[in-house]
Structure 1
Amino acid sequence: MEAVRVGDIDVCFEVHGSGPHVLLISGTGGDLRVDANRSAHPLTDGHEVLMYDQRGLGRTSKPDEPYTMEQYADDAAGLMRELGWARAHVVGISFGGMVAQHLALRHPGLVDRLVLCCTSSGGAGGSSFDLLSLADRPRAERAELLLPVMDTRNDLSTDPPTLAPLFDRLAPFMAAPPLNADDPASELGARRQLEARADHDVYDRLGEITMPTLVAGGLHDGQAPPENVERLAAALPDATLRFFEGGHMFLLQDRSAWPAIVDFLAP
Protein backbone atom coordinates (compact mmCIF):
# COMPACT_ATOMS: atom_id res chain seq x y z
CA MET A 1 0.00 0.00 0.00
CA GLU A 2 1.40 3.39 -1.05
CA ALA A 3 0.47 7.02 -0.46
CA VAL A 4 0.76 10.16 -2.55
CA ARG A 5 -0.01 13.80 -1.83
CA VAL A 6 -3.20 14.96 -3.56
CA GLY A 7 -4.14 18.55 -2.81
CA ASP A 8 -4.44 18.90 0.95
CA ILE A 9 -4.38 15.17 1.83
CA ASP A 10 -2.25 12.05 1.55
CA VAL A 11 -4.18 9.38 -0.36
CA CYS A 12 -3.46 5.72 0.31
CA PHE A 13 -3.76 3.59 -2.85
CA GLU A 14 -2.90 0.32 -4.56
CA VAL A 15 -2.62 -0.67 -8.22
CA HIS A 16 -3.24 -4.25 -9.35
CA GLY A 17 -3.33 -6.06 -12.67
CA SER A 18 -2.34 -4.93 -16.14
CA GLY A 19 -4.15 -3.63 -19.18
CA PRO A 20 -6.49 -0.66 -19.75
CA HIS A 21 -6.77 1.64 -16.75
CA VAL A 22 -9.74 1.31 -14.39
CA LEU A 23 -10.37 3.57 -11.39
CA LEU A 24 -12.42 1.71 -8.77
CA ILE A 25 -14.22 3.98 -6.28
CA SER A 26 -15.47 2.24 -3.15
CA GLY A 27 -18.59 2.78 -1.07
CA THR A 28 -19.43 4.16 2.35
CA GLY A 29 -16.77 3.37 4.94
CA GLY A 30 -14.50 1.75 2.35
CA ASP A 31 -11.09 0.63 3.63
CA LEU A 32 -8.60 -1.22 1.44
CA ARG A 33 -7.51 -3.39 4.35
CA VAL A 34 -10.94 -5.02 4.67
CA ASP A 35 -10.48 -7.05 1.46
CA ALA A 36 -7.56 -9.45 1.75
CA ASN A 37 -7.83 -10.50 -1.93
CA ARG A 38 -7.51 -7.14 -3.63
CA SER A 39 -5.04 -8.38 -6.22
CA ALA A 40 -7.58 -11.03 -7.30
CA HIS A 41 -10.42 -8.56 -7.84
CA PRO A 42 -12.50 -9.53 -10.92
CA LEU A 43 -11.46 -6.32 -12.69
CA THR A 44 -7.74 -7.08 -12.44
CA ASP A 45 -8.00 -9.85 -15.04
CA GLY A 46 -7.25 -7.74 -18.11
CA HIS A 47 -7.15 -4.29 -16.46
CA GLU A 48 -4.78 -2.19 -14.40
CA VAL A 49 -6.98 -1.24 -11.46
CA LEU A 50 -6.41 1.73 -9.17
CA MET A 51 -8.03 1.35 -5.73
CA TYR A 52 -7.77 3.87 -2.93
CA ASP A 53 -9.02 4.93 0.49
CA GLN A 54 -11.16 8.02 0.16
CA ARG A 55 -10.82 11.19 2.21
CA GLY A 56 -11.53 10.48 5.89
CA LEU A 57 -11.29 6.70 5.52
CA GLY A 58 -8.78 3.89 5.86
CA ARG A 59 -5.21 5.15 5.83
CA THR A 60 -5.92 8.30 3.84
CA SER A 61 -5.81 11.69 5.64
CA LYS A 62 -8.78 12.65 7.78
CA PRO A 63 -8.85 16.45 8.03
CA ASP A 64 -11.15 17.83 10.72
CA GLU A 65 -13.41 19.90 8.48
CA PRO A 66 -16.59 19.40 6.44
CA TYR A 67 -16.15 17.37 3.25
CA THR A 68 -18.01 17.90 -0.03
CA MET A 69 -18.87 15.62 -2.93
CA GLU A 70 -16.87 17.96 -5.14
CA GLN A 71 -13.80 17.33 -2.97
CA TYR A 72 -14.24 13.58 -3.30
CA ALA A 73 -14.39 13.94 -7.09
CA ASP A 74 -11.34 16.21 -7.15
CA ASP A 75 -9.44 13.76 -4.91
CA ALA A 76 -10.06 10.99 -7.46
CA ALA A 77 -9.03 13.23 -10.36
CA GLY A 78 -5.93 14.42 -8.50
CA LEU A 79 -4.88 10.88 -7.69
CA MET A 80 -5.15 9.88 -11.33
CA ARG A 81 -3.06 12.85 -12.39
CA GLU A 82 -0.42 12.24 -9.72
CA LEU A 83 -0.02 8.70 -11.05
CA GLY A 84 0.17 9.87 -14.65
CA TRP A 85 -3.17 8.42 -15.69
CA ALA A 86 -4.55 10.59 -18.50
CA ARG A 87 -7.83 8.65 -18.77
CA ALA A 88 -9.49 5.60 -17.27
CA HIS A 89 -12.69 3.66 -17.12
CA VAL A 90 -14.38 4.51 -13.83
CA VAL A 91 -16.35 2.03 -11.72
CA GLY A 92 -18.18 3.52 -8.73
CA ILE A 93 -19.97 1.39 -6.15
CA SER A 94 -22.73 2.86 -3.94
CA PHE A 95 -21.23 6.06 -2.46
CA GLY A 96 -18.44 5.55 -4.98
CA GLY A 97 -21.07 5.77 -7.70
CA MET A 98 -22.07 9.17 -6.36
CA VAL A 99 -18.45 10.29 -6.43
CA ALA A 100 -18.14 8.91 -9.96
CA GLN A 101 -21.07 11.06 -11.09
CA HIS A 102 -19.38 14.18 -9.74
CA LEU A 103 -16.07 13.08 -11.28
CA ALA A 104 -17.71 12.67 -14.70
CA LEU A 105 -19.24 16.15 -14.39
CA ARG A 106 -16.15 17.96 -13.09
CA HIS A 107 -13.45 16.09 -15.01
CA PRO A 108 -15.12 14.50 -18.05
CA GLY A 109 -11.84 14.30 -19.96
CA LEU A 110 -10.52 11.75 -17.47
CA VAL A 111 -13.37 9.26 -17.92
CA ASP A 112 -13.66 6.77 -20.78
CA ARG A 113 -16.49 4.44 -19.83
CA LEU A 114 -18.47 4.81 -16.63
CA VAL A 115 -20.06 2.13 -14.44
CA LEU A 116 -22.47 3.18 -11.70
CA CYS A 117 -23.42 0.36 -9.31
CA CYS A 118 -26.17 0.38 -6.66
CA THR A 119 -26.27 4.16 -6.50
CA SER A 120 -28.60 7.15 -6.86
CA SER A 121 -28.49 10.63 -8.38
CA GLY A 122 -30.26 12.45 -5.56
CA GLY A 123 -32.83 15.14 -6.19
CA ALA A 124 -35.78 14.19 -8.39
CA GLY A 125 -33.99 10.97 -9.27
CA GLY A 126 -34.29 9.77 -5.68
CA SER A 127 -31.76 9.57 -2.88
CA SER A 128 -30.21 6.46 -1.44
CA PHE A 129 -31.21 5.49 2.10
CA ASP A 130 -30.20 8.12 4.66
CA LEU A 131 -27.33 6.40 6.45
CA LEU A 132 -26.61 9.56 8.43
CA SER A 133 -29.90 9.05 10.26
CA LEU A 134 -28.47 5.89 11.83
CA ALA A 135 -24.96 7.19 12.52
CA ASP A 136 -25.50 7.71 16.25
CA ARG A 137 -27.08 4.31 16.90
CA PRO A 138 -25.02 1.52 18.52
CA ARG A 139 -23.32 -0.49 15.78
CA ALA A 140 -25.27 -3.71 16.50
CA GLU A 141 -28.59 -1.85 16.39
CA ARG A 142 -27.56 -0.02 13.24
CA ALA A 143 -26.65 -3.31 11.56
CA GLU A 144 -30.02 -4.82 12.49
CA LEU A 145 -31.90 -1.85 11.05
CA LEU A 146 -29.81 -1.93 7.87
CA LEU A 147 -30.29 -5.61 7.05
CA PRO A 148 -33.71 -5.16 5.35
CA VAL A 149 -32.40 -2.01 3.68
CA MET A 150 -29.39 -3.79 2.21
CA ASP A 151 -31.63 -6.56 0.86
CA THR A 152 -35.41 -6.33 1.08
CA ARG A 153 -35.63 -10.13 1.43
CA ASN A 154 -33.99 -9.97 4.85
CA ASP A 155 -36.68 -10.38 7.50
CA LEU A 156 -35.71 -10.46 11.17
CA SER A 157 -39.30 -10.96 12.35
CA THR A 158 -39.28 -14.65 11.42
CA ASP A 159 -37.91 -17.42 13.63
CA PRO A 160 -35.23 -18.08 12.60
CA PRO A 161 -34.59 -14.81 10.75
CA THR A 162 -34.91 -14.97 6.97
CA LEU A 163 -31.67 -13.88 5.34
CA ALA A 164 -30.94 -13.38 1.65
CA PRO A 165 -27.94 -15.17 0.13
CA LEU A 166 -24.59 -13.96 1.55
CA PHE A 167 -26.13 -12.22 4.55
CA ASP A 168 -25.63 -15.19 6.85
CA ARG A 169 -21.93 -14.26 6.63
CA LEU A 170 -22.32 -10.52 6.19
CA ALA A 171 -24.60 -9.84 9.18
CA PRO A 172 -21.93 -10.56 11.86
CA PHE A 173 -19.41 -8.44 9.96
CA MET A 174 -21.86 -5.51 9.85
CA ALA A 175 -22.24 -5.64 13.63
CA ALA A 176 -18.50 -5.98 14.37
CA PRO A 177 -16.36 -2.96 15.31
CA PRO A 178 -14.73 -1.34 12.26
CA LEU A 179 -11.02 -1.07 11.71
CA ASN A 180 -9.56 1.86 13.69
CA ALA A 181 -12.63 1.77 15.96
CA ASP A 182 -10.55 3.29 18.75
CA ASP A 183 -9.31 6.16 16.57
CA PRO A 184 -11.36 9.37 16.98
CA ALA A 185 -10.11 10.67 13.63
CA SER A 186 -11.51 7.60 11.86
CA GLU A 187 -14.89 8.01 13.51
CA LEU A 188 -14.93 11.67 12.54
CA GLY A 189 -13.87 10.92 8.95
CA ALA A 190 -16.61 8.32 8.55
CA ARG A 191 -19.21 10.81 9.76
CA ARG A 192 -17.89 13.54 7.46
CA GLN A 193 -18.37 11.15 4.55
CA LEU A 194 -22.00 10.55 5.53
CA GLU A 195 -22.58 14.29 5.84
CA ALA A 196 -21.20 14.91 2.34
CA ARG A 197 -23.28 12.00 1.01
CA ALA A 198 -26.45 13.58 2.39
CA ASP A 199 -25.93 16.58 0.07
CA HIS A 200 -25.50 14.52 -3.10
CA ASP A 201 -27.78 15.74 -5.91
CA VAL A 202 -26.75 15.84 -9.56
CA TYR A 203 -30.05 14.79 -11.14
CA ASP A 204 -30.55 18.01 -13.07
CA ARG A 205 -27.03 17.72 -14.56
CA LEU A 206 -27.09 14.06 -15.62
CA GLY A 207 -27.59 15.11 -19.23
CA GLU A 208 -24.02 16.43 -19.18
CA ILE A 209 -22.59 12.95 -18.54
CA THR A 210 -22.21 11.84 -22.14
CA MET A 211 -19.73 8.95 -21.98
CA PRO A 212 -21.11 5.40 -22.35
CA THR A 213 -22.42 4.39 -18.93
CA LEU A 214 -23.54 1.10 -17.43
CA VAL A 215 -26.05 1.61 -14.63
CA ALA A 216 -26.33 -1.56 -12.55
CA GLY A 217 -28.67 -2.29 -9.68
CA GLY A 218 -29.91 -5.07 -7.44
CA LEU A 219 -33.50 -6.22 -7.78
CA HIS A 220 -33.86 -6.39 -3.99
CA ASP A 221 -31.87 -3.30 -3.02
CA GLY A 222 -33.55 -1.07 -0.46
CA GLN A 223 -30.62 1.32 -0.14
CA ALA A 224 -30.45 2.33 -3.81
CA PRO A 225 -33.87 0.97 -4.83
CA PRO A 226 -34.63 -0.12 -8.40
CA GLU A 227 -36.75 2.96 -9.11
CA ASN A 228 -33.75 5.21 -8.33
CA VAL A 229 -31.53 3.16 -10.58
CA GLU A 230 -34.09 3.34 -13.40
CA ARG A 231 -34.41 7.13 -13.08
CA LEU A 232 -30.64 7.50 -13.07
CA ALA A 233 -30.27 5.50 -16.26
CA ALA A 234 -33.17 7.25 -17.98
CA ALA A 235 -31.61 10.69 -17.39
CA LEU A 236 -28.21 9.76 -18.87
CA PRO A 237 -27.73 10.30 -22.62
CA ASP A 238 -25.86 7.04 -23.28
CA ALA A 239 -26.80 4.55 -20.59
CA THR A 240 -27.25 0.79 -20.48
CA LEU A 241 -29.42 -0.43 -17.58
CA ARG A 242 -28.90 -3.85 -15.99
CA PHE A 243 -30.47 -5.42 -12.94
CA PHE A 244 -28.99 -8.36 -11.09
CA GLU A 245 -30.27 -10.91 -8.60
CA GLY A 246 -29.41 -9.46 -5.21
CA GLY A 247 -29.69 -6.44 -3.01
CA HIS A 248 -27.17 -3.71 -2.32
CA MET A 249 -24.48 -6.40 -2.41
CA PHE A 250 -25.52 -7.83 -5.78
CA LEU A 251 -21.91 -7.67 -6.98
CA LEU A 252 -21.19 -10.47 -4.52
CA GLN A 253 -24.59 -12.18 -4.66
CA ASP A 254 -24.92 -12.57 -8.44
CA ARG A 255 -21.97 -14.24 -10.16
CA SER A 256 -22.95 -12.73 -13.51
CA ALA A 257 -22.53 -9.12 -12.31
CA TRP A 258 -18.77 -8.62 -12.55
CA PRO A 259 -18.48 -10.45 -15.90
CA ALA A 260 -21.18 -8.12 -17.27
CA ILE A 261 -19.17 -5.11 -16.10
CA VAL A 262 -15.97 -6.50 -17.61
CA ASP A 263 -17.80 -7.05 -20.91
CA PHE A 264 -19.06 -3.46 -20.86
CA LEU A 265 -15.53 -2.14 -20.37
CA ALA A 266 -14.14 -4.20 -23.24
CA PRO A 267 -13.06 -2.16 -26.29
Structure 2
Amino acid sequence: MDARAMTQPPERPERPECAERSESSEAPEAPREQTLQVGDVTLAYRLLGRGSRALVCIHGVGSYQEAWDDVAAALADDFRILTFDLRGHGRSSRVKGRYEIDDFVTDVLALADHVGFTTFDLAGFSLGGLIAQRLALLHPSRLRRLVLLATVSGRTREERERVLARLAALQSGERGAHYDASLSRWLTEDFQAKHPARIAYLRERNAQNDPDCYASAYRVLAETDFGGFIDQIRMPTLIVTGEDDQGSNPRMARFMHECIVGSQLAILPGMRHSILVEASGQVADLMRNFLAGDGENAGASEGAGSGA
Protein backbone atom coordinates (compact mmCIF):
# COMPACT_ATOMS: atom_id res chain seq x y z
CA MET A 1 0.00 0.00 0.00
CA ASP A 2 1.30 3.48 -0.85
CA ALA A 3 2.02 5.85 1.99
CA ARG A 4 -1.00 8.06 2.66
CA ALA A 5 -1.46 11.33 4.52
CA MET A 6 -2.89 10.99 8.01
CA THR A 7 -4.47 13.34 10.52
CA GLN A 8 -4.35 12.93 14.29
CA PRO A 9 -7.45 11.22 15.75
CA PRO A 10 -9.36 13.39 18.25
CA GLU A 11 -10.02 12.63 21.90
CA ARG A 12 -13.13 10.57 22.61
CA PRO A 13 -16.03 12.51 24.20
CA GLU A 14 -17.80 11.15 27.27
CA ARG A 15 -20.68 8.86 26.40
CA PRO A 16 -24.04 9.09 28.23
CA GLU A 17 -25.58 6.02 29.84
CA CYS A 18 -26.91 3.51 27.35
CA ALA A 19 -30.63 3.68 26.68
CA GLU A 20 -31.25 -0.05 26.68
CA ARG A 21 -29.31 -2.66 28.59
CA SER A 22 -30.29 -5.98 30.08
CA GLU A 23 -30.93 -5.58 33.83
CA SER A 24 -28.73 -8.55 34.64
CA SER A 25 -25.75 -7.31 32.66
CA GLU A 26 -22.75 -5.70 34.30
CA ALA A 27 -20.36 -3.30 32.65
CA PRO A 28 -17.11 -5.00 31.69
CA GLU A 29 -13.93 -3.90 33.39
CA ALA A 30 -12.60 -0.64 32.05
CA PRO A 31 -10.01 -1.92 29.57
CA ARG A 32 -6.91 -0.11 28.52
CA GLU A 33 -7.08 0.89 24.88
CA GLN A 34 -4.12 -0.51 22.97
CA THR A 35 -2.77 -0.05 19.47
CA LEU A 36 -1.35 -2.29 16.77
CA GLN A 37 0.64 -1.16 13.75
CA VAL A 38 -0.54 -2.86 10.53
CA GLY A 39 1.52 -1.55 7.63
CA ASP A 40 1.10 2.23 7.63
CA VAL A 41 -2.02 2.11 9.81
CA THR A 42 -2.25 2.26 13.60
CA LEU A 43 -5.34 0.43 14.83
CA ALA A 44 -6.87 1.22 18.22
CA TYR A 45 -8.42 -1.79 19.94
CA ARG A 46 -9.65 -3.14 23.28
CA LEU A 47 -10.23 -6.56 24.81
CA LEU A 48 -13.47 -6.71 26.80
CA GLY A 49 -15.16 -9.39 28.87
CA ARG A 50 -14.15 -12.17 31.21
CA GLY A 51 -15.13 -15.25 29.22
CA SER A 52 -12.98 -17.72 27.33
CA ARG A 53 -14.73 -17.80 23.95
CA ALA A 54 -13.23 -15.40 21.39
CA LEU A 55 -15.54 -12.90 19.67
CA VAL A 56 -14.53 -10.16 17.22
CA CYS A 57 -16.96 -7.27 16.63
CA ILE A 58 -16.75 -4.84 13.68
CA HIS A 59 -18.59 -1.49 13.63
CA GLY A 60 -20.06 0.44 10.69
CA VAL A 61 -19.26 3.54 8.62
CA GLY A 62 -18.65 6.69 10.63
CA SER A 63 -18.87 4.77 13.89
CA TYR A 64 -16.33 3.51 16.45
CA GLN A 65 -15.64 0.55 18.66
CA GLU A 66 -17.70 1.88 21.60
CA ALA A 67 -20.80 1.22 19.49
CA TRP A 68 -20.44 -2.37 20.75
CA ASP A 69 -20.13 -1.49 24.45
CA ASP A 70 -23.72 -2.27 25.45
CA VAL A 71 -23.67 -5.64 23.67
CA ALA A 72 -20.21 -6.40 25.07
CA ALA A 73 -21.38 -5.64 28.61
CA ALA A 74 -24.21 -8.15 28.24
CA LEU A 75 -21.87 -10.83 26.85
CA ALA A 76 -18.94 -10.14 29.17
CA ASP A 77 -19.28 -13.24 31.36
CA ASP A 78 -19.05 -15.69 28.47
CA PHE A 79 -16.81 -14.04 25.89
CA ARG A 80 -13.44 -12.39 25.42
CA ILE A 81 -14.40 -9.65 22.99
CA LEU A 82 -12.13 -7.78 20.59
CA THR A 83 -13.47 -4.39 19.48
CA PHE A 84 -11.49 -1.91 17.41
CA ASP A 85 -11.77 1.28 15.39
CA LEU A 86 -11.71 0.68 11.64
CA ARG A 87 -8.97 2.47 9.74
CA GLY A 88 -10.05 6.09 9.27
CA HIS A 89 -12.33 5.93 12.32
CA GLY A 90 -12.16 6.68 16.04
CA ARG A 91 -8.62 6.57 17.41
CA SER A 92 -7.19 4.54 14.54
CA SER A 93 -5.11 6.28 11.88
CA ARG A 94 -7.02 8.73 9.72
CA VAL A 95 -5.63 7.26 6.52
CA LYS A 96 -6.42 9.29 3.40
CA GLY A 97 -7.02 7.75 0.00
CA ARG A 98 -9.01 4.88 -1.42
CA TYR A 99 -10.04 2.02 0.88
CA GLU A 100 -10.72 -1.52 -0.30
CA ILE A 101 -12.68 -4.11 1.63
CA ASP A 102 -9.65 -6.38 1.72
CA ASP A 103 -7.76 -3.65 3.61
CA PHE A 104 -10.33 -4.04 6.38
CA VAL A 105 -10.13 -7.85 6.26
CA THR A 106 -6.34 -7.65 6.61
CA ASP A 107 -6.76 -5.39 9.64
CA VAL A 108 -9.21 -7.78 11.32
CA LEU A 109 -6.96 -10.80 10.86
CA ALA A 110 -3.87 -8.90 12.03
CA LEU A 111 -5.66 -7.90 15.23
CA ALA A 112 -7.02 -11.41 15.79
CA ASP A 113 -3.55 -12.88 15.33
CA HIS A 114 -2.04 -10.27 17.64
CA VAL A 115 -4.39 -11.08 20.54
CA GLY A 116 -4.14 -14.84 19.99
CA PHE A 117 -7.57 -15.53 18.45
CA THR A 118 -6.77 -18.48 16.17
CA THR A 119 -10.46 -19.20 15.61
CA PHE A 120 -13.26 -16.94 16.73
CA ASP A 121 -16.89 -15.92 16.39
CA LEU A 122 -17.30 -12.85 14.18
CA ALA A 123 -20.02 -10.19 14.34
CA GLY A 124 -20.29 -7.29 11.91
CA PHE A 125 -22.70 -4.36 11.78
CA SER A 126 -23.52 -2.62 8.46
CA LEU A 127 -20.13 -2.11 6.72
CA GLY A 128 -18.77 -4.40 9.42
CA GLY A 129 -21.18 -7.04 8.16
CA LEU A 130 -19.78 -6.72 4.65
CA ILE A 131 -16.26 -7.09 6.02
CA ALA A 132 -17.45 -10.14 7.96
CA GLN A 133 -18.96 -11.65 4.80
CA ARG A 134 -15.69 -11.17 2.93
CA LEU A 135 -13.67 -12.71 5.75
CA ALA A 136 -16.06 -15.67 5.93
CA LEU A 137 -15.70 -16.26 2.19
CA LEU A 138 -11.90 -15.94 2.12
CA HIS A 139 -10.92 -17.45 5.48
CA PRO A 140 -13.70 -19.80 6.62
CA SER A 141 -11.32 -21.89 8.73
CA ARG A 142 -10.79 -18.93 11.08
CA LEU A 143 -14.46 -18.63 12.04
CA ARG A 144 -16.73 -20.67 14.27
CA ARG A 145 -19.95 -18.69 13.93
CA LEU A 146 -20.95 -15.58 11.99
CA VAL A 147 -23.34 -12.78 13.00
CA LEU A 148 -24.50 -10.33 10.31
CA LEU A 149 -26.28 -7.28 11.75
CA ALA A 150 -28.11 -4.70 9.62
CA THR A 151 -25.92 -5.40 6.62
CA VAL A 152 -26.42 -5.73 2.87
CA SER A 153 -26.34 -8.37 0.17
CA GLY A 154 -28.17 -8.87 -3.10
CA ARG A 155 -29.21 -5.26 -3.68
CA THR A 156 -31.80 -4.69 -6.40
CA ARG A 157 -31.06 -2.23 -9.20
CA GLU A 158 -33.15 0.40 -7.42
CA GLU A 159 -31.31 -0.20 -4.15
CA ARG A 160 -27.94 0.07 -5.91
CA GLU A 161 -28.96 3.30 -7.61
CA ARG A 162 -30.16 4.76 -4.31
CA VAL A 163 -26.97 4.02 -2.37
CA LEU A 164 -24.77 5.20 -5.25
CA ALA A 165 -26.74 8.45 -5.39
CA ARG A 166 -26.04 8.93 -1.68
CA LEU A 167 -22.36 8.24 -2.34
CA ALA A 168 -22.27 10.83 -5.13
CA ALA A 169 -23.96 13.40 -2.89
CA LEU A 170 -21.54 12.59 -0.09
CA GLN A 171 -18.51 12.98 -2.34
CA SER A 172 -19.65 16.33 -3.72
CA GLY A 173 -21.73 17.87 -0.95
CA GLU A 174 -21.87 18.70 2.74
CA ARG A 175 -20.77 15.56 4.54
CA GLY A 176 -21.98 16.55 7.97
CA ALA A 177 -25.48 17.03 6.57
CA HIS A 178 -25.26 13.55 5.02
CA TYR A 179 -24.62 11.96 8.40
CA ASP A 180 -27.27 14.02 10.19
CA ALA A 181 -29.86 12.96 7.60
CA SER A 182 -28.71 9.35 7.95
CA LEU A 183 -28.98 9.50 11.75
CA SER A 184 -32.61 10.53 11.43
CA ARG A 185 -33.24 7.50 9.21
CA TRP A 186 -31.30 5.13 11.48
CA LEU A 187 -33.18 5.76 14.76
CA THR A 188 -36.90 5.88 15.46
CA GLU A 189 -38.54 9.22 16.21
CA ASP A 190 -39.55 7.89 19.62
CA PHE A 191 -35.95 7.06 20.55
CA GLN A 192 -34.71 10.43 19.29
CA ALA A 193 -37.35 12.25 21.35
CA LYS A 194 -36.70 10.28 24.56
CA HIS A 195 -32.89 10.28 24.47
CA PRO A 196 -31.67 13.76 23.46
CA ALA A 197 -28.36 13.33 25.33
CA ARG A 198 -27.58 10.17 23.39
CA ILE A 199 -28.46 11.87 20.09
CA ALA A 200 -26.24 14.83 21.01
CA TYR A 201 -23.41 12.41 21.78
CA LEU A 202 -23.83 10.64 18.42
CA ARG A 203 -23.75 13.98 16.60
CA GLU A 204 -20.67 15.03 18.58
CA ARG A 205 -18.90 11.81 17.62
CA ASN A 206 -19.87 12.38 13.99
CA ALA A 207 -18.36 15.86 14.11
CA GLN A 208 -15.04 14.20 14.93
CA ASN A 209 -15.08 12.06 11.78
CA ASP A 210 -12.61 12.93 9.07
CA PRO A 211 -14.78 13.76 6.02
CA ASP A 212 -12.43 12.13 3.53
CA CYS A 213 -12.07 8.95 5.59
CA TYR A 214 -15.83 8.79 6.02
CA ALA A 215 -16.34 9.09 2.27
CA SER A 216 -13.68 6.45 1.56
CA ALA A 217 -15.36 3.98 3.91
CA TYR A 218 -18.83 4.79 2.59
CA ARG A 219 -17.64 4.05 -0.96
CA VAL A 220 -16.75 0.51 0.14
CA LEU A 221 -20.22 0.10 1.64
CA ALA A 222 -21.95 1.52 -1.44
CA GLU A 223 -19.99 -0.38 -4.08
CA THR A 224 -19.58 -3.78 -2.39
CA ASP A 225 -22.11 -6.60 -2.68
CA PHE A 226 -21.46 -10.32 -2.22
CA GLY A 227 -24.94 -11.38 -3.27
CA GLY A 228 -23.53 -13.61 -6.00
CA PHE A 229 -21.26 -15.46 -3.58
CA ILE A 230 -23.00 -15.46 -0.21
CA ASP A 231 -24.39 -18.95 -0.72
CA GLN A 232 -20.78 -20.14 -0.36
CA ILE A 233 -20.80 -19.22 3.34
CA ARG A 234 -20.96 -22.50 5.20
CA MET A 235 -20.48 -21.70 8.90
CA PRO A 236 -23.47 -21.25 11.23
CA THR A 237 -24.83 -17.74 10.61
CA LEU A 238 -27.26 -15.41 12.39
CA ILE A 239 -28.81 -12.56 10.38
CA VAL A 240 -30.53 -9.67 12.17
CA THR A 241 -31.99 -6.40 10.92
CA GLY A 242 -34.66 -3.87 11.82
CA GLU A 243 -38.15 -4.15 10.40
CA ASP A 244 -37.98 -0.52 9.21
CA ASP A 245 -34.32 -0.41 8.15
CA GLN A 246 -34.36 1.27 4.74
CA GLY A 247 -30.80 0.52 3.69
CA SER A 248 -30.17 -2.94 5.16
CA ASN A 249 -33.77 -3.94 4.73
CA PRO A 250 -35.64 -7.14 5.62
CA ARG A 251 -35.78 -8.19 1.96
CA MET A 252 -31.98 -8.36 1.86
CA ALA A 253 -31.88 -10.11 5.24
CA ARG A 254 -34.28 -12.75 3.94
CA PHE A 255 -32.19 -13.09 0.76
CA MET A 256 -29.12 -13.85 2.88
CA HIS A 257 -31.17 -16.23 5.02
CA GLU A 258 -32.31 -18.13 1.91
CA CYS A 259 -28.79 -18.28 0.46
CA ILE A 260 -26.88 -19.36 3.59
CA VAL A 261 -27.95 -22.91 4.30
CA GLY A 262 -29.35 -23.39 7.80
CA SER A 263 -28.93 -19.76 8.80
CA GLN A 264 -31.09 -18.11 11.44
CA LEU A 265 -32.97 -14.86 10.84
CA ALA A 266 -34.44 -12.27 13.20
CA ILE A 267 -36.30 -9.14 12.10
CA LEU A 268 -36.66 -6.70 15.00
CA PRO A 269 -40.15 -5.13 15.02
CA GLY A 270 -40.26 -1.36 14.73
CA MET A 271 -36.48 -0.95 14.59
CA ARG A 272 -34.55 1.00 11.98
CA HIS A 273 -30.84 0.70 11.20
CA SER A 274 -29.06 1.50 14.47
CA ILE A 275 -29.96 -1.67 16.36
CA LEU A 276 -26.69 -1.55 18.33
CA VAL A 277 -27.90 1.72 19.84
CA GLU A 278 -31.65 1.25 20.10
CA ALA A 279 -31.97 -2.52 20.57
CA SER A 280 -28.69 -3.58 22.16
CA GLY A 281 -30.43 -5.83 24.68
CA GLN A 282 -32.30 -7.72 21.96
CA VAL A 283 -29.16 -8.02 19.86
CA ALA A 284 -27.14 -9.31 22.82
CA ASP A 285 -29.79 -11.90 23.68
CA LEU A 286 -29.94 -13.13 20.09
CA MET A 287 -26.16 -13.32 19.87
CA ARG A 288 -25.78 -15.11 23.20
CA ASN A 289 -28.36 -17.75 22.31
CA PHE A 290 -26.94 -18.27 18.84
CA LEU A 291 -23.26 -18.31 19.76
CA ALA A 292 -23.90 -20.77 22.59
CA GLY A 293 -24.53 -23.46 19.98
CA ASP A 294 -21.86 -25.76 18.64
CA GLY A 295 -21.41 -27.63 15.40
CA GLU A 296 -23.51 -27.06 12.29
CA ASN A 297 -26.59 -24.90 11.93
CA ALA A 298 -29.58 -26.48 13.59
CA GLY A 299 -31.82 -25.45 10.74
CA ALA A 300 -33.38 -22.44 9.08
CA SER A 301 -35.56 -20.33 11.32
CA GLU A 302 -36.87 -16.82 11.69
CA GLY A 303 -35.94 -16.10 15.26
CA ALA A 304 -37.85 -14.88 18.26
CA GLY A 305 -38.91 -11.28 18.05
CA SER A 306 -39.07 -11.40 14.26
CA GLY A 307 -41.50 -9.35 12.32
CA ALA A 308 -43.68 -10.55 9.51
TM-score (norm 1): 0.83
Unaligned runs of at least 5 residues, structure 2: 1-32, 294-308
Q: Which amino acid aligns with 2:211?
A: E
Match in the other structure for 1:180: 208
Unaligned runs of at least 5 residues, structure 1: 155-162
- Partner secondary structure for residue 164 of structure 1: helix
- 2:179 and 2:123 map into 1 onto residues whose CA distance is 27
Q: Is contact 1:139-1:177 (8 Å) kept? A: no
- 2:260 and 2:161 map into 1 onto residues whose CA distance is 18
Q: Is contact 2:175-2:211 (8 Å) kept? A: no
**Is structure 2 residue 249 aligned with structure 1 residue 193?**
no
**Higher deviation after alignment, 110-119 or 217-226:** 217-226
Match in the other structure for 1:99: 131
Deviation string, structure 1 residues 88-132 (Cα, Å, up to 9, x no partner): 000111111111101111211111100001111144596596253
Match of 1:237 among 261, 273, 297: 261
- 1:55 and 1:96 map into 2 onto residues whose CA distance is 12
**Higher deviation after alignment, 92-101 or 115-124:** 115-124
- 2:183 and 2:242 map into 1 onto residues whose CA distance is 16
- Partner secondary structure for residue 204 of structure 1: coil
TM-score (norm 2): 0.72
The Cα shift of 1:75 comes to 1.2
Counterparts of 1:1-267 in structure 2, within 5 Å, are 1-17=33-49, 18-32=51-65, 41-123=73-155, 130=163, 131-135=166-170, 136-137=173-174, 139-140=176-177, 142-144=179-181, 146-147=183-184, 149-151=185-187, 163-166=189-192, 168-169=194-195, 171-176=199-204, 178=206, 180=208, 186-245=210-269, 246-254=271-279, 255-267=281-293
The Cα shift of 1:41 comes to 2.5
- Partner secondary structure for residue 66 of structure 1: coil
The Cα shift of 1:139 comes to 2.6
Q: State the aligned residue count.
A: 251
Deviation string, structure 1 residues 202-248 (Cα, Å, up to 9, x no partner): 11111211000000111111121111111121111231111112111
Q: Is contact 1:89-1:111 (8 Å) kept? A: yes
- Partner secondary structure for residue 228 of structure 2: helix
Q: Is contact 1:89-1:113 (8 Å) kept? A: yes
Percent identity between the aligned chains? Answer: 23
Match in the other structure for 1:157: none
- Partner secondary structure for residue 45 of structure 2: strand
Over 3 Å counting, the alpha-carbon distance change for 1:202 and 1:45 in structure 2 is same
Over 3 Å counting, the alpha-carbon distance change for 1:231 and 1:40 in structure 2 is closer
Q: Which amino acid aligns with 2:176?
A: R
**Higher deviation after alignment, 23-32 or 242-251:** 242-251
- Partner secondary structure for residue 41 of structure 1: helix
- 2:155 and 2:130 map into 1 onto residues whose CA distance is 12
Over 3 Å counting, the alpha-carbon distance change for 1:224 and 1:78 in structure 2 is same
- 1:127 and 1:138 map into 2 onto residues whose CA distance is 20
